[in-house]
A and B are shown apart, each in its own frame.
Chain A
Amino acid sequence: GAGVSQSPSNKVTEKGKDVELRCDPISGHTALYWYRQRLGQGLEFLIYFQGNSAPDKSGLPSDRFSAERTGESVSTLTIQRTQQEDSAVYLCASSERGSITDTQYFGPGTRLTVL
């Protein structure tokens, strides 16, 4: 596709339920990032995938958060037993190689609301 896409665009769930958020990166991009953006805050790094290397999970806030990526394509971010503080916009980005000189291209995000 032409850009990074994310689905769903909005998700409302009840506290305690699991949710899955999807990211389709730009074709050919080997690097993929997930960020969380709470209301009025900047982006908070969650996880980074680069090719077949082990992902950098250092930003995941708890063991309720996990992410997977199939090869160099789709990624899913899973939040188990959601809590109200998980409410945020979850942004995905991809870049060609994950190099420090590469431009990150962002998706439109998924707005998650936990009731």
Chain B
Amino acid sequence: AQTVTQSQPEMSVQEAETVTLSCTYDTSESDYYLFWYKQPPSRQMILVIRQEAYKQQNATENRFSVNFQKAAKSFSLKISDSQLGDAAMYFCAYTNTGNQFYFGTGTSLTVIP
């Protein structure tokens, strides 16, 4: 069964600094997608970044980048130049089918001014 683990319930970062959120997953599939979603207090989940497992190059979206280690089944999110608006819950997610998605338990990120 696929599982997604986020071992950091809470993280904090100083404004303008860099923070890395960790995620590991378990799967026997070779082709799949990994995601990071952001959930602010408004509860609206927003896709931050997506990584295709067959692509070796790490995905990047502006200040957000991932470190995808397929052999280690690790998928961490790096937020550079942290901003106050980055404060939210961050969820790591996995799918290999497009219809069933598996989410981690989330990391609450606090940005300190």
Give the interface of A toward B (CB within 8 A). 31, 33, 35, 40-45, 48, 50, 56, 58-59, 89, 91, 93, 98-104, 106-109
Q: When A42-B4, A104-B47 are in contact, do A50 and B99 touch as well, CB less than 8 Å? A: yes
A45–B1 CA distance with the chains assembled, in angstroms = 14
Residues of B within 8 A of A102 (CB): 98
Residues of B within 8 A of A40 (CB): 105-106
Task: Indicate which residue in A44, A48, A91 contacts B99 across the interface (CB closer than 8 Å).
Answer: A48
Give the interface of B toward A (CB within 8 A). 4, 6, 33, 42-47, 50, 91, 93, 95-106
Q: Select from chain A the residue with minimum beta-carbon distance to B97.
A: A100
Residues of A within 8 A of B44 (CB): 106-109
- How distant is B93 from chain A, measured CB to nearest CB, in Å? 8
Q: Select from chain B the residue with minimum beta-carbon distance to A110.
A: B43
Task: Indicate which residue in A41, A98, A99, A106 contacts B45 across the interface (CB closer than 8 Å).
Answer: A106
Contact between B105 and A41, CB atoms less than 8 A apart: yes
A76–B28 CA distance with the chains assembled, in angstroms = 34
Q: When A42-B4, A100-B33 are in contact, do A91 and B45 touch as well, CB less than 8 Å? A: yes
Q: Select from chain A the residue with minimum beta-carbon distance to B47.
A: A103
CB-defined A-B contacts under 8 Å, sample of 21: A31-B98, A33-B101, A40-B106, A41-B106, A42-B106, A43-B91, A43-B93, A43-B101, A45-B101, A58-B100, A59-B100, A91-B43, A103-B50, A104-B45, A104-B47, A104-B101, A106-B44, A106-B46, A108-B42, A108-B43, A109-B43
- How distant is B37 from chain A, measured CB to nearest CB, in Å? 8
Most buried by A among B46, B93, B97, B101: B101
Residues of A within 8 A of B93 (CB): 43
Contact between B98 and A100, CB atoms less than 8 A apart: yes
Residues of B within 8 A of A109 (CB): 43-44
Residues of B within 8 A of A59 (CB): 100
Residues of A within 8 A of B106 (CB): 40-42
Q: Select from chain A the residue with minimum beta-carbon distance to B42.
A: A108
Q: When A59-B100, A100-B97 are in contact, do A93 and B47 touch as well, CB less than 8 Å? A: no
